[in-house]
């Protein structure tokens, strides 16, 4: 069996998206191609279910990808994605020894503010409408979760690739995604060149994205007092990225790939729904502030992947990624996957992933209320130092028509590193409880 570069896999040009599922949906980029012969259309569909423990976020995401080869490797690709998220989302405040009350993002007060408005309908009827917004309370020792959290996203992506010569291939694409508080447009272009009898491939890629951000209730003024609800209307952000890659067939059974990525983003980097706690020396919470992050971010990463075939259909894939940015976050990812052919029409794919990262230089679990406020601060747990192993497996079988049915189950466990201890009454509390989640995916590939 001769291993070849995985041409089905899209270029790993980074994008900057707020959605939680953006991270978990790496599961949907399953390897392999549809086995059906002489098909004009190749359909790849998947349904992902994601659930965090303790009543936190859950997500359902169906994805449908369509590809058609019009001949001579002129390939059109289309992809439709829908995300639906619900559950409790951490707002950034720490657990407290006393109850804590917060307002949903649309709120303008921490009391049950009810304003009666009177208006007249087209028929001349006078109607009195009661405007309200929801409050939620975290009990002592409980991590504050915004239970009103919900989100939906629809994304459409398209791509086209074709050879320019026998050794040179051009690809380009674009996409549009829409959430109730977020709109994003992106575009990318790539060029690859084969050498050494198609055993060596050099690739280059560029991408760009623009986001229009319209948070529910408005974008809060950075570092302002949470209780004042000082907000602006909307914000925006733009990012550009580049990639250079080298793929080398070392032997008929061994393939190596190396990618180097660079991307930069400017504009609004804050999460408009995140705050952080101000804490007194005795551990009591003195107040809350909206977070503030630098208005730019630069990230660099290197990715190395090795694929080795042991038998006709058994393949071991081992990869390592190193990432760093100018927020002082550094991360390492090791991913191990084994494609084990059980028979001609069935396979099992165990999977283990280990991830760790350092904290952003402006990350603070909480801030000492007696000290002046810093220029930048965030308690977003995604910016903290933590480790996160993932383990699971995929089982798949092919049907008589050459299509493939599959099911994948993964378990994710995140643990904080060097977690700051709280003073006074906060000392016995778990201020960073981490995250446990499961990801279940069903897939169906077929040709038409």
Among candidates 348, 339, 355, which has minimal Cα distance to 412? 355
Asked if residue 6 has pLDDT above 50, the reply is no
With contact defined as beta carbons under 8 Å apart, do 244 and 203 qualify?
yes
- Report if residue 8 sits inside a domain: no
| Banded pLDDT at 55 (limits 50, 70, 90) | confident
Asked if residue 34 has pLDDT above 60, the reply is no
With contact defined as beta carbons under 8 Å apart, do 349 and 337 qualify?
yes
> What are the start-end ranges of the E strands in 16-97?
41-52, 58-69, 75-86, 89-90
Q: Of the segments 37-41, 105-109, 136-140, which one has the largest average pLDDT value?
A: 136-140
| Banded pLDDT at 4 (limits 50, 70, 90) | very low
| pLDDT of res. 402 | 83
What is the residue range of 327's domain? 21-447
- Report if residue 12 sits inside a domain: no
Proportion of the chain above pLDDT 70, given as a percent: 86
Asked if residue 134 has pLDDT above 90, the reply is no
| Banded pLDDT at 444 (limits 50, 70, 90) | very high
CB under 8 Å to 209, separation ≥6 — which residues? Answer: 15, 16, 184, 185, 186, 187, 238, 239, 240
Average pLDDT over residues 20-24: 35
CA angle 431/417/378 to nearest 5° reads 60
| pLDDT of res. 122 | 59
CA-CA-CA-CA torsion sign (273, 21, 50, 430)? negative
| pLDDT of res. 11 | 31
Residue-wise pLDDT for 83-103, tens only, equals 999 998 999 999 999 999 999
- Report if residue 215 sits inside a domain: yes
CA-CA-CA-CA torsion sign (61, 260, 338, 412)? negative
- Report if residue 7 sits inside a domain: no
Asked if residue 36 has pLDDT above 70, the reply is no
Instruction: Indicate the range of 132-146, 266-280, 329-343, 391-405 predicted with least confidence.
Output: 132-146
- Report if residue 422 sits inside a domain: yes
Q: How many distinct structural domains can be found in the chain?
A: 1
| Banded pLDDT at 121 (limits 50, 70, 90) | low
| Banded pLDDT at 107 (limits 50, 70, 90) | confident
Mean pLDDT of the chain: 88
| pLDDT of res. 149 | 83
| Banded pLDDT at 232 (limits 50, 70, 90) | confident
CB-based contacts of 139-144 (< 8 A; 24+ apart in sequence) = 139/99, 140/95, 140/96, 140/97, 140/98, 140/99, 141/95, 141/96, 141/97, 141/429, 141/430, 142/95, 143/90, 143/94, 143/95, 143/433, 144/90, 144/91, 144/92, 144/93, 144/94, 144/95, 144/100, 144/102
- Report if residue 390 sits inside a domain: yes
Secondary structure of 380-435 in the HEC alphabet?
CHHHCCEEEEEEEEEEEEECCCCCEEEEEEEEEEEEECCCCCCCHHHCCCCCCCCE
Residue-wise pLDDT for 158-202, tens only, equals 999 999 999 999 999 999 999 999 999 999 999 999 999 999 999
Radius of gyration over alpha carbons of the chain, in Å? 25
241: CATH: 2.40.160.40
- Report if residue 11 sits inside a domain: no
Residue-wise pLDDT for 272-296, tens only, equals 999 999 999 999 999 999 999 999 9
In angstroms, rounded to a whole number, what is the distance separating the alpha carbons of residues 78 and 158?
Answer: 4
In angstroms, rounded to a whole number, what is the distance separating the alpha carbons of residues 161 and 146?
Answer: 44
| Banded pLDDT at 111 (limits 50, 70, 90) | confident
| pLDDT of res. 448 | 84
Asked if residue 112 has pLDDT above 50, the reply is yes
In angstroms, rounded to a whole number, what is the distance separating the alpha carbons of residues 142 and 90?
Answer: 11
In angstroms, rounded to a whole number, what is the distance separating the alpha carbons of residues 250 and 256?
Answer: 7
| pLDDT of res. 233 | 81
| pLDDT of res. 120 | 59
In angstroms, rounded to a whole number, what is the distance separating the alpha carbons of residues 63 and 61?
Answer: 6
With contact defined as beta carbons under 8 Å apart, do 379 and 394 qualify?
no
In angstroms, rounded to a whole number, what is the distance separating the alpha carbons of residues 430 and 421?
Answer: 9
């Amino acid at each position: 069996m001769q291993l070849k570069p995985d041409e089905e896999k899209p270029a790993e040009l980074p994008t900057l998206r707020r959605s939680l599922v953006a991270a978990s949906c790496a599961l949907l980029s399953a390897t392999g191609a549809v086995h059906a012969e002489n098909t004009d259309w190749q359909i790849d569909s998947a349904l992902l279910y994601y659930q965090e423990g303790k009543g936190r976020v859950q997500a359902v995401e169906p994805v449908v990808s369509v590809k058609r080869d019009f001949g001579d490797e002129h390939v059109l690709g289309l992809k439709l994605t829908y995300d639906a998220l619900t559950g409790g989302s951490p707002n950034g405040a720490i657990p407290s020894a006393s109850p804590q009350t917060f307002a949903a993002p649309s709120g303008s007060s921490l009391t049950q503010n009810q304003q009666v408005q009177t208006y007249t309908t087209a028929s001349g009827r006078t109607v009195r409408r009661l405007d309200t917004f929801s409050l939620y309370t975290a009990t002592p020792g409980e991590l504050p979760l915004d239970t009103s959290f919900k989100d939906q996203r629809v994304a459409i992506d398209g791509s086209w690739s074709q050879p320019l010569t026998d050794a040179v291939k051009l690809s380009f694409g674009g996409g549009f995604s829409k959430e109730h508080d977020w709109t994003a447009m992106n575009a990318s272009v790539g060029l690859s060149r084969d050498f050494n009898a198609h055993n060596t491939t050099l690739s280059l890629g560029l991408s760009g994205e623009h986001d229009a951000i319209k948070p529910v209730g408005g974008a809060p003024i950075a570092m302002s007092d949470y209780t004042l609800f000082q907000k602006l209307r909307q914000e925006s952000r733009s990012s550009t990225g580049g990639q250079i890659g080298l793929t080398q067939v070392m032997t008929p059974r061994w393939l190596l790939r190396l990618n180097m990525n660079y991307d930069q983003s400017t504009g609004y980097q804050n999460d408009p729904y995140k705050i952080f706690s101000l804490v007194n020396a005795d551990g009591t919470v003195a107040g809350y502030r909206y977070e503030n992050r630098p208005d730019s971010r630069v990230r660099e990463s290197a990715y190395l992947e090795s694929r080795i075939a042991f038998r006709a259909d058994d393949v071991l894939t081992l990869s390592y990624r190193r990432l760093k940015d100018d927020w002082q976050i550094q991360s390492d990812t090791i991913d191990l996957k084994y494609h084990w052919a059980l028979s001609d029409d069935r396979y099992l794919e165990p999977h283990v992933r280990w991830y760790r990262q350092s904290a952003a230089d402006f990350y603070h679990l909480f801030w000492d209320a007696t000290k002046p406020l810093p220029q930048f601060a965030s308690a977003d747990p995604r910016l903290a130092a933590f480790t996160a192993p993932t383990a699971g497996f995929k089982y798949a079988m092919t049907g008589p028509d050459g299509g493939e049915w599959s099911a994948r189950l993964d378990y994710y466990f995140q643990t904080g590193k060097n977690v700051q201890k709280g003073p006074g009454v906060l000392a016995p509390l778990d201020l960073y409880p981490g995250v446990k989640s499961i990801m279940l995916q069903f897939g169906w590939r077929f040709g038409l």
